[in-house]
Amino acid sequence: LDAGRRDDIVEHLEAAHAAEVADLLESLPPDQRSGLWDVIPAEQEGEILSHLRDEARASIIEEMDDVELVAAARSMAPEDLAEVIEELPDERHTALLQTLDGDHRQRLQAVLTFGQNTAGRLMSTDVLSVRPDVSVAVVLRWLRRHQVLPPHTDTLMVIDEQGHYLATLGVDRLLTSDPQAIVGQLMRQDTVVVRADMSEHEVAALFERRDLISLPVLDQEDHLLGRITIDDVVDIIREESDKVLLNRAGLDEDEDLFAPVMPSARRRGLWLGINLMTVFLAAAVIGRFEAVLDQIVALAVLLPIVASMGGIAGSQTLTLMIRGLALDQIANANVRWLIGKEIAVGALNGIAWAVVVAFVAYLWFGSTGISVTIASAMILNLLIAALAGVLIPLGLKRVGIDPALSGAVILTTVTDIVGFLSFLGLATVILL
Amino acid sequence: LDAGRRDDIVEHLEAAHAAEVADLLESLPPDQRSGLWDVIPAEQEGEILSHLRDEARASIIEEMDDVELVAAARSMAPEDLAEVIEELPDERHTALLQTLDGDHRQRLQAVLTFGQNTAGRLMSTDVLSVRPDVSVAVVLRWLRRHQVLPPHTDTLMVIDEQGHYLATLGVDRLLTSDPQAIVGQLMRQDTVVVRADMSEHEVAALFERRDLISLPVLDQEDHLLGRITIDDVVDIIREESDKVLLNRAGLDEDEDLFAPVMPSARRRGLWLGINLMTVFLAAAVIGRFEAVLDQIVALAVLLPIVASMGGIAGSQTLTLMIRGLALDQIANANVRWLIGKEIAVGALNGIAWAVVVAFVAYLWFGSTGISVTIASAMILNLLIAALAGVLIPLGLKRVGIDPALSGAVILTTVTDIVGFLSFLGLATVILL
């Protein structure tokens, strides 16, 4: 990014789509990121900001002064600006709100009245609507005067005089119908609608299942408020998938790979601390069996095996459950079958690998007692792991905690403790 | 699913979208799944099959006889049928191909010439194309004769007499332009195109970055072959996210939560076996230090701590790398910065938590030597974990292995071995 290539870069940026520039910014270490940001033309900044992930965006906004931020905000759609403004520190939030002009501010505040992660936040208010009693020819004439349609307009909304939503009229019907036909005869009343308070997750599931491009958003009295388009839904699906992947490692879904060292270390440190507590718990379990460990050192050598196998088997069940819950595939009606199945799978694999472990342990230490101990402990731990893999995510969901976030750490705590307890406990009974 | 409610169910099924029926089938244990399948009207079967995940689909096709399968195949689009037919056992594959009528078979074989997971497999050949020298009025008249447009038609393709792709003509331009305007003046030549051999992953990234609804698919000579629409891209994004989530636990992305016990146990058993080998490796490392364990039993108690903390820290780095690689954010230019950053994060957290661990260990066992040993081992292991978290996914990618599949198991093998080796090795030096 040396000065001589600046013009080159600006030229490239002008040709690129805002989302591509956002991707590029997210792939740069802090210094280069702000270097690139400085050469981005002011009129593109708003659009690019709306494509960045929260954390990368925060890193850039921190370096923008208020004048630059206001200029960028002016070019942003209210629904994008709402997302940005909520992440700002209080004083910048207020300052920015005050400098927006009346109309823009009102539209922004209307978006902000909807709860986070709801359809109301997602929708665009840029909608074309028509009355049911006009002819196709009239609609076509009106569209020709419009010149530019909102992006991804696959349907027009049909509304009555009071703004109540009635139905959708597909653009394809407009193109293929007789110009004399009346909208009311062509419109489709069976299309699904979205309520403004519907969650993003439900909206995405609806689009995905029905292969939709856009849906109308209504309030409780059926007034048409706006529309949601598939490009926003794609972003939600991507966010949900990032969330499942990153939360599992105790990371926020917006975690910025190229964040500076200190904030990264602080955020990750918390998760390490939680893990440290759970592993101390496991160590305390081992500590209860110092007597048997002191006499049979082979037990210390084999110690990780039972716990580790339980952790792996349990995390397989847990992972399937997390996906099943995300896809709304799990209900009371099938949980009992699932528990039975997972326990049977755990028993089969427990027995199969217990035989292998017992054999290897016998070759290694030549003690039938040790072999019987480790084999029994392993079967027991894989059964508990299967049960825990089903019940932990269900329990977490019931109390309103996302299983993708803390399911794995609770599960491995259970499988570690049960693993150590069963192995060393059985050893005390069988070998001492 | 008792017989009395059969009519009710059929009525519900007729109102539901095929993807919703597919979701329902995937949420049912084997018995109920085939029970429901039996009451699904034959004419819906093809569409529903194309919405099922591989494994759930295989479980249903296994129970269908050849007559039923052929009937379902007849109603499927070639690109969907291609996916189904490739999963069939050889003899059913051939039998099915032979019973298809000539045209359908030819179209299917055309799809099968493209490599798996390429744009050619994904595209639909149901495309509307126009010549550049006709007027909007002519196009509109032609569309009115057509009556039904292919789903998600947001653009028409403009081609020359030889079938070479020239540009796209947005449906919005058709609606807003003067009927006398000529297609050649309205078409957009700057749209991106997809080559038939482009990978699904690249296609999805293109759609996601540019907020697209459809793109033309061309061969190497620029002939228009078909088009890809956003609904297929949504499926790819979902599949990729499933893959990252499930592969991490050694599961296939099509793994069926409601599969019968035996095949589930077999598939998962393989991964448990791989894990068993790695944990025996770790146990062998501990086995080298029987002497020191025999003398100081406290070491056995503290044994899991260093390895576990290394595993957690490393998996945080690994997870961020896997996402970064999936989003194409990582290149040679920023790897060195990343390694530096991750090592710094590892060092900071290593030192911080080493102090805590040393303090707790001192309170527990009252030995400065043990405290110094575990603290040093932990700092060392977190440094190695950071390095491994960056280098393992890069190395796997270079040799063509998906880091999401085997990255975690390799990483924890490294952090376990380094954890046990450093802790027990330092203990031998410091304490004996």
User: Cβ–Cβ of A154/B151 closer than 8 Å?
Assistant: no
Residue B84 lies in a domain: yes
Q: Is B306 on the interface with A (CB under 8 A)?
A: no
Contact call for residues A417 and A343 (beta carbons, < 8 A): no
Mean pLDDT of A269-283: 96
CATH number, position A20: 1.25.60.10
The pLDDT confidence band at residue B371, using thresholds 50, 70 and 90, is very high
Considering A52, A85, A113, which residue would you say is the last residue of a domain? A113
Residue B252 lies in a domain: no
The pLDDT confidence band at residue B3, using thresholds 50, 70 and 90, is low
User: Do residue B94 and residue B135 come from a single domain?
Assistant: no
pLDDT at residue A398, as a whole number:
95
| CA count, 13 A, side-chain hemisphere, B270 | 11
User: Do residue A267 and residue A391 come from a single domain?
Assistant: yes
Residue among A242, A257, A285 with most chain B CBs within 10 A, to mutate: A257
Q: How far apart are CA B203 and CA B217, in angstroms?
A: 10
pLDDT at B1 over 70: no
List the single residue in B with minimal CA-CA distance to A190. B15
Q: Is A366 on the interface with B (CB under 8 A)?
A: no
User: Do residue B78 and residue B158 come from a single domain?
Assistant: no
| pLDDT tens readout for residues A206-254 | 999 899 999 999 999 999 999 999 999 999 999 998 898 899 899 988 8
Report the residue count for chain A: 432
Q: How far apart are CA B118 and CA B116, in angstroms?
A: 6
User: Do residue B266 and residue B413 come from a single domain?
Assistant: yes
- Out of A146, A316, A321, closest to residue B176 by CB: A146
User: Cβ–Cβ of A143/B175 closer than 8 Å?
Assistant: yes
CA dihedral B51, B54, B58, B64 (to 10 degrees): 20
In this structure, what token pair is assigned to residue B190?
A: 């700057």
Tell me how close the Cα of A383 comes to any Cα of chain B, in angstroms: 13
Chain A CB contacts of B271 under 8 Å are 312, 316
| Ramachandran sector of residue A224 (left: φ over 0; alpha: ψ -120 to 50; beta: rest) | beta
List, in sequence order, every residue forming a beta bridge with B199; answer none if it has no partner: B118
Place of tokens 């198991």: B409
Q: How far apart are CA B400 and CA B389, in angstroms?
A: 17
CA B89 distance to own-chain centroid = 24
Instruction: Determine what percent of chain A is predicted with pLDDT higher than 90.
Output: 77
Considering A56, A79, A113, which residue would you say is the last residue of a domain? A113
Instruction: Determine what percent of chain B is predicted with pLDDT higher than 90.
Output: 77
CATH number, position A407: 1.10.357.20
Q: How far apart are CA B102 and CA B293, in angstroms?
A: 75
- Which domain range does residue B276 map to? 261-431
Q: Which of B82, B89, B127 is nearest to B105 (CA)?
A: B82
Tell me how close the Cα of A80 comes to any Cα of chain B, in angstroms: 15
Considering B113, B138, B161, which residue would you say is the last residue of a domain? B113
CA B348 distance to own-chain centroid = 34
pLDDT at B5 over 70: no
pLDDT at residue A3, as a whole number:
52
The neighbour count for residue B91, using CB atoms within 10 Å, is 9
Mean pLDDT of A62-73: 90
Q: What is the DSSP letter of B223?
A: B
What percent of the residues of chain A are helix, what percent strand, and what percent coil, each to the nearest 5?
Answer: 70, 10, 25
pLDDT at A88 over 70: yes
- Out of B20, B261, B279, closest to residue A209 by CB: B20
Residue B248 lies in a domain: no
User: Do residue A306 and residue A158 come from a single domain?
Assistant: no
pLDDT at residue B4, as a whole number:
55
Q: Could you report how far apart the first and last alpha carbons of chain A are, in Å?
A: 70
Q: Is A283 on the interface with B (CB under 8 A)?
A: yes
CATH number, position B143: 3.10.580.10
User: Do residue B37 and residue B88 come from a single domain?
Assistant: yes
Q: How far apart are CA B52 and CA B50, in angstroms?
A: 6
- Out of A146, A255, A303, closest to residue B300 by CB: A303
Residue B222 lies in a domain: yes
Q: How far apart are CA B80 and CA A77, in angstroms?
A: 38
User: Do residue A185 and residue A269 come from a single domain?
Assistant: no
List the single residue in B with minimal CA-CA distance to A23. B329
Q: How far apart are CA A154 and CA A231, in angstroms?
A: 13
Show the CA angle centred on residue A97, arms to residues A45 and A151, nearest 5°: 50
Q: Which of A157, A426, A324 is nearest to B258 (CA)?
A: A324
Place of tokens 């195949």: B73
Chain B CB contacts of A315 under 8 Å are 249
Longest dimension (CA), chain B: 96
Chain B CB contacts of A343 under 8 Å are none
User: Do residue B273 and residue B419 come from a single domain?
Assistant: yes
pLDDT at residue A4, as a whole number:
55
| pLDDT tens readout for residues A126-181 | 999 999 999 999 999 999 987 789 999 999 999 999 999 999 999 999 999 999 99
Residue B169 lies in a domain: yes
User: Cβ–Cβ of A237/B238 closer than 8 Å?
Assistant: yes
Phi, psi of A334 (to 5 degrees): -110, 0
Contacts (Cβ under 8 Å, ≥6 apart) of B197: B114, B115, B118, B119, B120
Give chain A's mean pLDDT: 93
pLDDT at residue A101, as a whole number:
85
Q: Is A62 on the interface with B (CB under 8 A)?
A: no
Mean pLDDT of A313-321: 96
Instruction: Determine what percent of chain A is predicted with pLDDT higher than 70.
Output: 99
**pLDDT-wise least confident of A7-21, A44-58, A349-363, B151-165:** A7-21
Beta strands A155-159; A165-170: pairing state: antiparallel
User: Do residue B23 and residue B60 come from a single domain?
Assistant: yes
Q: Check residues B27 and B190 and name the one with the higher pLDDT.
A: B27
User: Do residue A306 and residue A364 come from a single domain?
Assistant: yes
Contact call for residues A290 and A420 (beta carbons, < 8 A): no
Contact call for residues B346 and B383 (beta carbons, < 8 A): yes
pLDDT at residue A313, as a whole number:
97
Q: Which of B187, B157, B125, B142 is nearest to A175 (CA)?
A: B142
In this structure, what token pair is assigned to residue A182?
A: 């009346």
List the single residue in A with minimal CA-CA distance to B310. A272
pLDDT at A53 over 60: yes
Q: How far apart are CA A301 and CA A15, in angstroms?
A: 61
The pLDDT confidence band at residue B9, using thresholds 50, 70 and 90, is confident
Phi, psi of B179 (to 5 degrees): -55, -25
Chain A CB contacts of B330 under 8 Å are 27, 257
Mean pLDDT of B399-421: 94
pLDDT at B335 over 60: yes
**pLDDT-wise least confident of A34-38, A274-278, B274-278:** A34-38
Beta strands B165-170; B194-195: pairing state: unpaired
User: Do residue B76 and residue B165 come from a single domain?
Assistant: no
| pLDDT tens readout for residues B160-196 | 999 999 999 999 999 999 999 999 999 998 779 999 9
List, in sequence order, the alpha helices (H) in B327-402. Answer: 332-365, 368-398
Q: Is A391 on the interface with B (CB under 8 A)?
A: no
Q: How far apart are CA B231 and CA B152, in angstroms?
A: 9
pLDDT at residue B86, as a whole number:
87
pLDDT at A258 over 60: yes
pLDDT at residue B99, as a whole number:
87
User: Cβ–Cβ of A29/B287 closer than 8 Å?
Assistant: no
Residue B120 lies in a domain: no
List, in sequence order, every residue forming a beta bridge with A164; answer none if it has no partner: A223
Long-range contacts of B153-156 (CB under 8 A, 24+ apart): B153/A172, B153/B128, B153/B214, B154/A152, B154/A154, B154/A213, B154/B213, B154/B214, B155/B191, B155/B213, B155/B214, B156/B128, B156/B129, B156/B130
Residue A122 lies in a domain: no
pLDDT at residue B199, as a whole number:
96
- The total number of structural domains that make up chain B: 3
Q: How far apart are CA B255 and CA B89, in angstroms?
A: 19
User: Do residue A289 and residue A372 come from a single domain?
Assistant: yes
CA B289 distance to own-chain centroid = 42
Q: Which of B420, B329, B347 is nearest to B386 (CA)?
A: B347
Give chain B's mean pLDDT: 93
Q: How far apart are CA B367 and CA A44, in angstroms?
A: 62
Residue A118 lies in a domain: no
Q: How far apart are CA A48 and CA A57, in angstroms?
A: 9
Sign, CA dihedral B304-B309-B312-B318, equals negative
The pLDDT confidence band at residue A189, using thresholds 50, 70 and 90, is confident
Phi, psi of B28 (to 5 degrees): -115, 140
pLDDT at A340 over 90: yes
Mean pLDDT of B100-123: 92
Mean pLDDT of A121-127: 93
| pLDDT tens readout for residues B350-361 | 999 999 999 999
| pLDDT tens readout for residues B56-73 | 999 999 999 988 999 999
List the single residue in A with minimal CA-CA distance to B154. A154
Sheet containing B194-195, strands listed edge to edge, beginning at the edge strand earlier in sequence: B194-195, B214-218, B224-229
Q: Is A272 on the interface with B (CB under 8 A)?
A: yes
| pLDDT tens readout for residues B263-316 | 999 999 999 999 999 999 999 999 999 999 999 999 999 999 999 999 999 999
Q: What is the DSSP letter of B217?
A: E
For chain A, positions 192-221, list CB contacts with chain B under 8 A: 207-211, 213
